[in-house]
Structure 1
Amino acid sequence: MRLDKYICKVLDLSRTRTASLLEEDRVKLSDRSVKASRKMQEGDILEIHMPPAQSLEVLPEKMDLDIVYEDEDIIVINKPKGMVVHPAPGHMEHTLVNGLLYHCQDLSGINGVKRPGIVHRIDKDTSGLLVVAKNDMAHESLAAQLQDKSLRRIYRAIVHHPFSHTIGTVDAPIGRDEKDRQKMAVTAKNSKPAVTHFTVLENFKDYAYIECSLETGRTHQIRVHMAYIQHPVAGDPKYGPRKTIEAGGQLLHAMQLELIHPRTKEKMHFEAPLDPTFAKVLAELEKEAANA
């Protein structure tokens, strides 16, 4: 295997990250500089000198947040389509975390400087509910609920192709796509278990409206699983077909959230209406079906 591919695979680094390590001469093979194309051989001694992590300051930013619920421990947000949840290098502004820091001043520090308070996330173009921890006690409780599945998340999606059955479960492990490091895939290599349950709410001529509940929380799980069973989420530029509904991203909405309050131990249920773009597409499909 080529040296650069070997580093990507073993350390789970992106191609860009690996290329920069090589360009900065941070990779040594048997104590010598080496090219990315060099083929790895048995007995090679590889040294990688990782640069120290940079502390990136995340600045509070005033923005209108759709707050569904808030108390001293947690805040439940209805995230709009198009908003990134947490900052990343090259994208340190206009994220949900920037807005939360302005609104709350303080969030749990368990996930570090770039992801304060973030217990779980939803993709940029997925809309809907997520809960944020305002202190470490709440964060630890919510993280434990994710593990034992008492924190429940229910999504709505419009997917390609009608179904012949009304309920189903996709039980297929998800890991990094070997051909494209920016994507996830159903794979047996370096993967983790992933389970998605779904119910068909309405079938249309070319699409279906479904509800999904997650048993696990892998990156892009619903999008990957639905594409795997040949029902990709409509509007999805990453996992869907080229010919799809133009909706500025995948038609996926985190509609319901159930959790046990970290302090009071009360069972709580939250629900958010469909994103306007999603609701418009669904109404058009229903109107088309009624006139057929």
Structure 2
Amino acid sequence: MDARNQNAVAEFILLGFNSLQRWQAFLFFTFFLLPSALTITVNATIIATAWKDNPLYTPMYFFLSNFSFMEIWYTTVTVPKMLSSFMVERTTISVSGCIIQFYAFCCLGTTECMFLGVMAYDRYIAICYPLHYSTLMNKKVCTRLAVGSWVSGFIGNLPLTISTTQFFFCDPNKINYFFCNLAPVLNHSCTDTSVSEMIFFTFTWVIILCSFLLTMVSYCFIISTICRTPSTIGRQWAFSTCASHLIVVTIFYSTVTFMYVWPTVRYTFQADKVVSVFYCVVTPLLNPVIYNLRNKEVKEALRRVLCGRRRLNWKNVGLIDWDS
């Protein structure tokens, strides 16, 4: 289609969940506002506790603090526009704002993939090489792994974002979505987007497969080590330290595969919106609950911080000397 014969648009209209207007107030408070507020509060509490309470200042909780920080940004990137679609009749976003939102969302998704792989590697070292854990996962190594995860997420998505800025968007400017996801946005481009779509899905496949393979290989070695452990208590401890991560990995890869690995024609299905809500609203709230609040060490640390006590518990899993 010749872009010169079309009317350029300066903004998009996000339709959100316009087919559920009768449930607007109920959905706004129950499924969006309350979970989003809880997500920010719970993740911020986890970060503050992990950094303030000395026994939790370990590699595992260092990575979890970064993970919680990322979940807070996930919520702030997508949820505000989602909430505004319930409060106002017409939710708009500029083309540049839409591209920025899409870039931030993709960066955070890539970073999450990297952190899941890094945390699987951390559990692999802790269980398979416990005597060398403090040396292999010292402060310098953990910092490099965390910085590498963040940098790879934000740099890896630059080529697609830059190419998207060159697109010409034309009427109709209504996006049947609640935030600027790739498929519904590219559907409104009057220029050829096949190359950008190929780049995006190739990059998505590479990131998902690499992080997933790293996670699975780590757990193959972990399970092999656990099976050779003669102590029943030792096997229970090892499984308990990995169960939370496996649950989060399963939830994450199930939703992200549905959203981005299938063909782009899916975006017309209402099911895609439901999965996106789960990915953007529910998962950031579930992750800290699964990872931390079911963990005895974290609950004890929360009591110490809230009560102002600094009682030390040196039985924390994976405790090391960060100055090594």
TM-score, normalisation: structure 2: 0.25
Give the structure with the larger strand fraction. Answer: 1
TM-score, normalisation: structure 1: 0.27
Give the structure with the larger helix fraction. Answer: 2
User: Which protein, 1 or 2, shows the higher relative CO under an 8 Å CA cutoff with sep ≥ 6?
Assistant: 2
